[in-house]
Amino acid sequence: MKQIMAIFGVLVLFGCKEVKTLDGQVSAEYLKEAKQLEGVYHGSFAGVTGDLRLSFNERTPQISFKSAMGDDLLSPNCQSKIGLMESFQIEDTSSPAYLDYAIFKFDAHLCSSEIAGQSLKLDFNKNGQSLRLSLLKDRKITHVDVDCTEGPRRTICTPARDEINETYLEGKFQR
């Protein structure tokens, strides 16, 4: 019984709610919190300095990036595109509630052989003044065979498994 109460307490304490979007739109219930993040953020992504703009077309958030090299997040030759928002997480146990992160569709287009990710994640700090941007660059899966070690009384084996190693392109931005 104590374990059930402890689990319930953790769920109440961490009142984050992930919300899937329909056609990239933020529901009216969370629009106020989302629109507080609207604006221009200055920083860099994957070593390239620029401005990340979060704006709204009615209830649909839009992300754009602009640097001295152009408006492509990856490189001028990639013709990559930031698409519609797929989901977001709202922290609603604190007052005021705030958007914790948002995930947008991403198309690396001409650089898709170099970029594994199809989603761009924006992690917002609690006061909405800064964010971290991440995009999966590479995922390697390595198969590790059974590994057995002879012990004094018995043989101990680690089962075969796949190890996943992921590398991300990252950036930090502030208002």
Condensed to tens digits (0 to 9), the pLDDT of residues 108-122 reads: 999 999 999 999 999
Position 4 in a domain: no
Count of domains for the chain: 1
Strand partners, 52: 41, 65
Position 42 in a domain: yes
Position 91 in a domain: yes
pLDDT of residue 105: 97
pLDDT of residue 22: 82
Position 7 in a domain: no
What is the span of the domain harbouring residue 158? Answer: 16-174
Position 5 in a domain: no
Length of the chain counted residue by residue? 175
Tell me the C-alpha to C-alpha distance, in Å, between residue 10 and each of 13, 17, 89, 105: 5, 14, 17, 31
Position 108 in a domain: yes
Tell me the C-alpha to C-alpha distance, in Å, between residue 4 and each of 7, 12, 15, 37: 5, 12, 17, 37
Say if residue 131's pLDDT is above 90: yes
As a whole number of angstroms, the distance between CA 33 and CA 89 comes to 11
pTM here is: 0.79
**Preceding omega of 96 cis (within 30 degrees of 0):** yes
Mean pLDDT of the chain: 87
Position 6 in a domain: no
Position 69 in a domain: yes
Which residue type does 112 have?
Answer: S
Angle at CA 120, nearest 5°, toward 78 and 37?
Answer: 120
Confidence band for 14, pLDDT divided at 50, 70 and 90: low
Higher-confidence residue: 7 or 107? 107
pLDDT of residue 20: 87
